[in-house]
Structure 1
Amino acid sequence: MLFHFWERQVGRWAQYEGAQVPRNFKDQCAYISNHLQVDDKLELLHLVITIIKHDDHNADADKRRAQRIWDFYGRHDLFQDSDGNMPTHKLSQPYDNLKIVRRNVEEFAVAVSASGPRVDDTSFDPKPKTDEQQ
């Protein structure tokens, strides 16, 4: 839910500036990097959310996402079994083996809250549309 809120906010920020609303994560990050800071863990959150959201609609893509979480981010903790082991076979079924605990939720909340307008950017001043503009 946090990530989808962030996605919607990017669209609103783009609309306020009269820009085309970016449709995918890569374009959203490219757009906002001109005006907004993006936390390094936002992509990690995007990968996790996409695995949860799609649950085997595209098993190969989910495996690639899980592999990126495992290799690039080194986040074996997200796929640990109950004994704390990190077997790579867990990546073959990422949805069933994804492990999210409270500290992960808090970590992702920080990533979302840190991915917004820069405090020192006075050129970025989105204003709500008036009733006449909508």
Structure 2
Amino acid sequence: MIGSFRFGGDLFSELNRLQQSLDQLFQTDGMSIRGSARGTFPAVNVGSSADSVEVIAFAPGVDASKLQVTVDKGLLVIAGERTSEAPKADEKSNVHAQERFQGSFRRVISLPEDADPAKVDASFRDGVLHVTVAKRESSKPRQITVS
């Protein structure tokens, strides 16, 4: 049960205590992506240039055949599954720590309005997914000749 809320004057320590209480309340067995304390899987970097939007997803241990990349209604969706060779707890063995995420995952990234969903390239190498979404030609700057 979560303890009662007391405000003793130090707001940050109270917020920290409340976060710890919520973490205890919603504690999972670590097998869910939502149980990850460090964020979501896969970690992504998103950037853009004048010509494209670049998405880098770090997905070590994922088989390329288990990855799905889709673009729909301005959203880039990266989904897949990562399996683990970690030992399973049974009557003959115990698992003392299991920090590596395993299971299904899904990341949704909003694309800018000038992204062209018809021009998407994806490659996967050494656990890194690189997705390039070209920008629409109509959104690129162009030189206008004055007559």
Determine which structure has the larger helix proportion and give its number. 1
- TM-based fold match above 0.5: no
If the length of structure 1 is used for normalisation, what is the TM-score? 0.27
Q: Identify, as 1 or 2, the structure richer in strand.
A: 2
Q: Select the structure of larger CA radius of gyration.
A: 2
